[in-house]
């Protein structure tokens, strides 16, 4: 299962996205978040992704962010959460 | 410090930020854009947004948020800085300036709907539309951000090399940043603060996710992440605190020197990793640091579960950014400044003025008593003058604050008139008294408008005349002796003297048979109600303006003059005093009184011969001065201070230049001296008196009135008595 993250992950986008991710996790144990389109993401979006990872862990599920955009990587890098979001391996890839 | 005081500081910093941002925008417009220019604009807008949020200026905060978003994308290299985008940013800047003026109560809040929509559209665009096309030049991204691109081709060498090296920077600071639940209100984003720190070389050391809920309990408004950040020793504590100046209570912070205990703990500081709160998990063991997984393609459908449970994470140190980091280092920082309440400053200046008077009185008293203390008196006089110069310098401000408004005026006029203008500004650092600065803005604005509206030709006319399509307007300031000279010069059509003269005749400003010099014709445009505009426009041509300009400049003790050459352009020159508190004066005696004539009005003094005088009426005479007949104004009768003790042949006539009435000859009994005088306001200390511009205290302790030469000339040209005579 996969969810394509929107271009802007802000206060307006987060509530729907949180429900969508939660519902998708409830349906399966694997979720891929396509981050290629994300162009704007601050702390709100970052928290959502971290919460999604935490939720997945609590449900014995897995999440991976595929094709993370520069906006995602910048936010993760700045905040020191690259490895929490599984994004440090992007470099290795 | 009270809330109002803090807010006042915020407003001052808004002005400073806007000034820096405008200069950076104009640098970009001139093709000098670089990463630091974009960063300057971003930092200014970001700071204003932060302060706006702290003080509840929601409209300003909302607008700056949209502006900042686009700037961030430009800074990150997500959006190329095209000419079209730059034009949008400049328009957004103008609206931002209006927003700041609105929170100061100077204007109503601007209508920002259109530009907001434009900014939002740009922010959400993918960078392929017309606005984004044709970048001016690649903007070099900040070192901190240049590691990534859209394809995920990330250069993390430095990042990976630093993994695990999370020891505090030796001699640096450790900053604990804990956003509160209000931290994301109104578009605020603590990540921007971290970005600001990051640009100074700071790196996240640990991340605290203890408060992070799962998705079922996730509130978009909540701020759930805290950080421990290492800041290099090159960054001063003040610089760090500056970043958080206007964050208010939205973020709790504490700062302490690396390796030492925190000096203050207004915010609970989480200590070492073992005691760090952990993300709740029953299954996974707690790890002090997230294990680094084996490299795997990110496109793989499924990865092993990440160790998200570990909340104490070593962040990868990054190479310190260039530019800002070096600028912020202790020794290379800006000159320290302190803000002083203006009342205190004025009290100091006033007291120093009193000291000058007292010193002068002392010198006169000792001299009269035959006390020989020349060395001491000389030294005292020198020191007093030094102190006076220093005190006056405290009130001096660079004229930049006035000149900085001009680019916007030019932009607006370009849009309104369709003319193209190349603005050149010189001498922005020239300093003037604060009061002069505050009152010079309006007249200067009008001169700029006049230069563009009347002076410069339309593009097609310029091309037809063999000129460049783009007109030139040059604004300059320089100090010349005790005055500041401000020039507003254009390379337009010059003054059409035939048309000006005809208009003046039509309006009965001059008679049809008047024979005027070019200079006199040029000066007709300062006559009240004079206008040659064919159509009344928003810009000028309402018949008011240049006469008001002249009055305003005269009110400041200055003068305005014109030089114009047909087809080549016109220059308006404003000569302004450096200060309004001190003036050079000619001390004269008249009818037993001692009076001061402002020296900058004095042209010459004469001992009249009987043949030079012509009687017009029992009370009116003129004097022939090298072929020109000047009205003679007896100071005694004009001011009602008694009768002059001497006839015309024994008195002294002092020829003075006035702006409105040309030269007049003032009759006094004798000239006593010439010296600097400290001006005391009659309006403030007594009441305004027509004909008297102020007062001063002489060395012998007597009060001397300072003559308002303009009012005296006006009274000489109209049969009325001055207040003092009443």
Task: Please tell me the distance from the alpha carbon of residue B473 to that of residue B485, in angstroms, as a whole number.
Answer: 16
Say which of A18, A50, A80 has its CB closest to residue B315: A80
Give pLDDT tens digits for B650-663.
789 999 987 667 78
Q: Which CATH class is domain B399-577?
A: alpha beta
Residue range B440-462: mean pLDDT, rounded: 91
Q: Which residues of B touch A52 (CB under 8 A)?
A: 215
Say whether pLDDT at B493 is over 90. Answer: yes
Say which of A42, A70, A86 has its CB closest to residue B189: A42
Say whether pLDDT at B725 is over 70. Answer: no
Residue range B493-508: mean pLDDT, rounded: 88
For β-strands B226-231 and B203-208, DSSP reports them as: antiparallel
Strand ranges, E, within B150-225: 173-179, 203-208
Residues 236-265 of B with CB under 8 A from A: none
Structure tokens at B123: 């922010």
Say which of A32, A47, A73 has its CB closest to residue B212: A47
Sheet with B582-590: strands ordered across: B670-678, B582-590, B593-598, B703-707, B692-697
Report CB contact under 8 Å: B298, A66.
yes
In terms of residues, how long is chain A? 93
Least confident range from A5-14, B51-60, B523-532: namely B523-532
Sheet with B470-480: strands ordered across: B420-426, B470-480, B483-490, B569-577, B559-565
Give pLDDT tens digits for A63-92.
999 999 988 998 998 899 988 898 877 644
Residue B488 near residue B569 (C-beta atoms within 8 A)? no
For β-strands B431-433 and B396-398, DSSP reports them as: antiparallel
Residue range A4-24: mean pLDDT, rounded: 89
Q: Which residues of B touch A42 (CB under 8 A)?
A: 189, 191-192
Task: Please tell me the distance from the alpha carbon of residue B241 to that of residue B243, in angstroms, as a whole number.
Answer: 5
Selected residue with higher pLDDT from A27 and B288: A27
Does the beta carbon of B194 lie under 8 angstroms from any beta carbon of chain A? Answer: yes
Task: Name the residue among B676, B651, B661 with its Cα closest to residue B710.
Answer: B661
Selected residue with higher pLDDT from B8 and A17: A17
Report CB contact under 8 Å: B305, A56.
yes
Report CB contact under 8 Å: B309, A57.
yes
Least confident range from B239-248, B282-291, B565-574: namely B282-291
> What is the pLDDT at residue B1?
54
Kindly identify which residue of chain A lies nearest to residue B209, measuring between CA atoms.
A50
Which pLDDT band holds residue B205 (cuts at 50, 70, 90)? confident
Which pLDDT band holds residue B261 (cuts at 50, 70, 90)? low
CB atoms within 10 A of CB B592: 12
Residue-wise burial string across B676-702, b where 16 or more C-beta atoms lie within 10 A, e elsewhere = ebbbbebeeeeeebbbbbbbbbbbeee
Report CB contact under 8 Å: B179, A43.
yes
- Classify the phi-psi angles of B382: left when phi > 0, otherwise alpha if psi is within -120 to 50, otherwise beta: alpha
Any idea where the domains of chain B sit in the sequence? 3-132, 157-291+306-328, 343-397, 399-577, 582-725
Task: Please tell me the distance from the alpha carbon of residue B494 to that of residue B563, in angstroms, as a whole number.
Answer: 9
> What is the pLDDT at residue B601?
83
Selected residue with higher pLDDT from B518 and B584: B518
Give pLDDT tens digits for B402-426.
888 888 889 888 888 889 999 999 9
> What is the pLDDT at residue B456?
94
> What is the pLDDT at residue B335?
59
Task: Please tell me the distance from the alpha carbon of residue A54 to that of residue B155, in angstroms, as a whole number.
Answer: 27
Selected residue with higher pLDDT from B208 and B165: B208
Residues 300-329 of B with CB under 8 A from A: 300-310, 313-316, 318
> What is the pLDDT at residue B645?
55
Residue range B324-349: mean pLDDT, rounded: 61
Say whether pLDDT at B591 is over 80. Answer: yes
> What is the pLDDT at residue B265?
37
A2-84 folds as Transcription Regulator spoIIAA (3.30.750)
For β-strands B593-598 and B703-707, DSSP reports them as: parallel
Q: Which residues contact residue B468 at a Cβ distance below 8 angstroms, ignoring those fewer than 6 apart?
A: B462
Task: Please tell me the distance from the alpha carbon of residue B530 to that of residue B523, in angstroms, as a whole number.
Answer: 11
Task: Please tell me the distance from the alpha carbon of residue B230 to that of residue B258, in angstroms, as a whole number.
Answer: 8
> What is the pLDDT at residue B495?
92
What kind of architecture, by CATH, is found in domain B3-132?
Answer: Up-down Bundle (1.20)
> Torsion over CA of B433, B435, B441 and B447, rounded to 10 degrees?
-70
Highest mean pLDDT among B335-344, B429-438, B637-646: B429-438
> What is the pLDDT at residue B132?
44
Alpha helices (H) along B299-455: 324-328, 342-368, 374-395, 400-403, 406-417, 434-450
Residue A28 near residue A58 (C-beta atoms within 8 A)? no
Report CB contact under 8 Å: A67, B204.
no
Say whether pLDDT at B545 is over 90. Answer: no
End-to-end CA distance of chain B: 51
Task: Name the residue among B403, B415, B453, B424 with its Cα closest to residue B30.
Answer: B424
Say whether pLDDT at B476 is over 90. Answer: yes
Which pLDDT band holds residue A53 (cuts at 50, 70, 90)? very high
The burial of B416, by beta-carbon neighbours within 10 Å (0-12 exposed, 13-18 middle, 19 or more buried), is given as middle
Alpha helices (H) along B76-155: 83-103, 113-124
Report CB contact under 8 Å: A92, B295.
yes
> What is the pLDDT at residue B422?
92
Indicate if ipTM > 0.90.
Answer: yes
Helix axes B113-124, B58-75, angle to 10 degrees: 30
Q: Which residues contact residue B16 at a Cβ distance below 8 angstroms, ignoring those fewer than 6 apart?
A: none
Q: Which residues of B touch A60 (CB under 8 A)?
A: 283
Q: Which residues contact residue B82 at a Cβ distance below 8 angstroms, ignoring those fewer than 6 apart?
A: B131, B132, B133, B134, B135, B136
Q: What is the mean pLDDT of chain B?
A: 75
Structure tokens at B674: 């010439």
Provide long-range contacts, Cβ within 8 A and 24+ apart, for B537-542: B537/B416, B537/B453, B538/B416, B539/B413, B539/B416, B539/B417, B539/B449, B539/B452, B539/B453, B540/B446, B540/B449, B540/B450, B540/B453, B540/B454, B541/B453
Find where tokens 């970052």 sit. Answer: A46
Residue B577 near residue B483 (C-beta atoms within 8 A)? yes
Which pLDDT band holds residue B252 (cuts at 50, 70, 90)? confident
Mutate to test the interface with A, among B213, B308, B318 (most CBs of A within 10 A): B308
Max Cα separation, chain B? 117
Q: What is the DSSP string of B195-210?
A: HHHHHTT-EEEEEE-T
CB pairs under 8 A between A and B: 208
> What is the pLDDT at residue A34?
93
Task: Please tell me the distance from the alpha carbon of residue B86 to that of residue B95, in angstroms, as a whole number.
Answer: 14
> What is the pLDDT at residue B146?
34
> Torsion over CA of B183, B184, B185 and B187, rounded to 10 degrees?
130
Q: Which helix (H) or strand (E) holds B593?
A: strand B593-598
Selected residue with higher pLDDT from B125 and B302: B125
Residue B586 near residue B599 (C-beta atoms within 8 A)? yes
Report CB contact under 8 Å: A93, B152.
yes
Give pLDDT tens digits for B633-691.
988 888 887 765 567 777 899 999 876 677 899 999 999 988 778 888 777 778 778 78
Q: Which residues contact residue B605 at a Cβ distance below 8 angstroms, ignoring those fewer than 6 apart?
A: B652, B653, B654, B655, B671
Q: Which helix (H) or strand (E) holds B228?
A: strand B226-231
Q: Which helix (H) or strand (E) holds B229?
A: strand B226-231
Which pLDDT band holds residue B186 (cuts at 50, 70, 90)? low
CATH superfamily name and code, B582-725: CheA-289, Domain 4 (2.40.50.180)
Residue B184 near residue B223 (C-beta atoms within 8 A)? yes
Selected residue with higher pLDDT from B92 and B142: B92
């Amino acid at each position: 299962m996969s969810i394509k993250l929107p271009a802007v992950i802000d206060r307006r986008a987060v509530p729907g996205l949180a429900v969508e991710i939660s519902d998708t996790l409830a349906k399966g144990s694997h979720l891929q978040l396509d981050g290629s389109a994300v162009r704007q993401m601050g702390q709100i979006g970052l928290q959502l992704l971290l919460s999604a990872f935490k939720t997945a862990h609590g449900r014995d599920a897995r999440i991976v962010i595929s094709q993370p955009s520069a906006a995602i990587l910048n936010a993760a890098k700045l905040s020191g959460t690259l490895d929490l979001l599984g994004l440090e391996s992007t470099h290795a890839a | 410090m009270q809330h109002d005081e803090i807010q006042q500081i915020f407003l001052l910093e808004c002005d400073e930020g806007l000034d820096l941002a405008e200069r950076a925008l104009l640098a970009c417009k001139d093709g000098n854009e670089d990463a630091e220019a974009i960063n300057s604009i971003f930092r200014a807008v970001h700071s204003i947004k932060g302060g706006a949020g702290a003080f509840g200026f929601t409209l300003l905060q909302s607008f700056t948020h949209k502006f900042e978003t686009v700037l961030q994308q430009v800074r990150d290299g997500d959006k190329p800085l095209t000419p079209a985008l730059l034009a949008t940013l400049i328009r957004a800047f103008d609206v931002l300036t209006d927003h700041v003026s609105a929170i100061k109560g100077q204007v109503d809040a601007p209508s920002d709907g259109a530009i907001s929509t434009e900014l939002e559209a740009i922010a959400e665009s993918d960078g392929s539309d017309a606005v984004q096309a044709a970048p001016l030049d690649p903007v070099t991204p900040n070192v901190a951000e240049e590691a990534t691109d859209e394809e995920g081709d990330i250069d993390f060498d430095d990042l990976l090399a630093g993994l695990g090296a999370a020891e505090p920077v030796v001699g640096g600071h450790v900053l604990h940043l804990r956003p509160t639940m209000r931290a994301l209100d109104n578009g605020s984003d603590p990540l921007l603060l971290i970005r600001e720190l990051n640009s100074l070389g700071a790196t996240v050391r640990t991340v605290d996710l203890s408060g992070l809920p799962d998705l079922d309990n996730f509130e978009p408004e909540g701020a759930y992440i805290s950080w421990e950040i290492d800041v290099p020793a090159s960054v001063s504590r003040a610089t760090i605190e500056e970043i958080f100046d206007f964050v208010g209570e939205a973020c709790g912070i504490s700062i302490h020197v690396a390796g030492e205990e925190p000096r203050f703990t207004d915010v609970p500081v989480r200590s070492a990793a073992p005691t760090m709160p952990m993300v709740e998990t029953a299954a996974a063991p707690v790890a002090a640091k997230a294990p680094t997984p084996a490299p795997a393609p990110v496109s793989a459908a499924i990865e092993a579960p990440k160790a998200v449970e570990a909340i104490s994470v070593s962040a990868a140190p990054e190479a310190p950014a260039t530019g800002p980091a070096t600028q912020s280092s202790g020794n290379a920082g800006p000159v320290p400044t302190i803000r002083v309440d203006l009342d205190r400053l004025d009290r100091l200046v006033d007291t120093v003025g009193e000291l000058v008077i007292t010193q002068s009185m002392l010198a006169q008293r000792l001299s009269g008593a035959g006390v020989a203390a020349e060395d001491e008196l000389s030294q005292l006089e020198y020191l007093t003058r030094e102190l006076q110069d220093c005190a006056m310098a405290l009130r001096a401000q660079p004229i930049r604050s006035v000149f900085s408004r001009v680019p916007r005026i030019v932009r607006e006029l370009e849009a309104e008139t369709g003319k193209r203008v190349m603005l050149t500004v010189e001498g922005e650092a020239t300093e003037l008294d604060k009061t002069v600065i505050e009152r010079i803005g309006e007249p200067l604005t009008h001169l700029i408008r006049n230069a563009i509206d009347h002076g410069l030709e339309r593009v097609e006319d310029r091309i037809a005349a063999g000129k460049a399509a783009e007109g030139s307007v040059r604004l300059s300031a320089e100090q010349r002796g005790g005055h500041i000279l401000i020039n507003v010069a254009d390379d337009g059509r010059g003054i059409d003297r035939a048309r000006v003269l005809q208009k003046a005749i039509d309006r009965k400003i001059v008679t049809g048979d008047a024979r005027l010099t070019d200079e006199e014709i040029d000066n007709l445009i300062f006559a009240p109600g004079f206008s040659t505009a064919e159509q009344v426009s928003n810009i000028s041509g309402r018949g008011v303006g240049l006469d008001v300009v002249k009055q305003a400049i005269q009110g400041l003790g200055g003068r305005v003059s014109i030089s114009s050459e047909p087809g080549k352009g016109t220059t308006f020159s404003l000569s302004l005093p450096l200060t309004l508190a001190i003036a050079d004066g000619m001390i004269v005696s008249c009818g037993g009184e001692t009076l001061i004539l402002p020296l900058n009005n004095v042209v010459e003094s004469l001992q009249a011969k009987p043949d030079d005088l012509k009687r017009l009426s029992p009370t009116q005479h003129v004097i022939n001065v090298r072929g020109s007949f000047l009205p003679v104004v007896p100071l005694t009768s004009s001011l009602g201070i008694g009768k002059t003790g001497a006839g015309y042949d024994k008195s002294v006539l002092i020829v003075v230049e006035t702006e409105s009435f040309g030269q007049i000859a003032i009759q006094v009994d004798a000239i006593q001296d010439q010296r600097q005088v400290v001006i005391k306001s009659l309006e403030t200390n007594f009441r305004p008196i027509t004909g008297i511009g102020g007062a001063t205290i002489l060395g012998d302790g007597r009060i001397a009135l300072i003559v308002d030469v303009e009012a005296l000339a006006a009274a000489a040209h109209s049969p009325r008595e001055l207040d003092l005579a009443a």
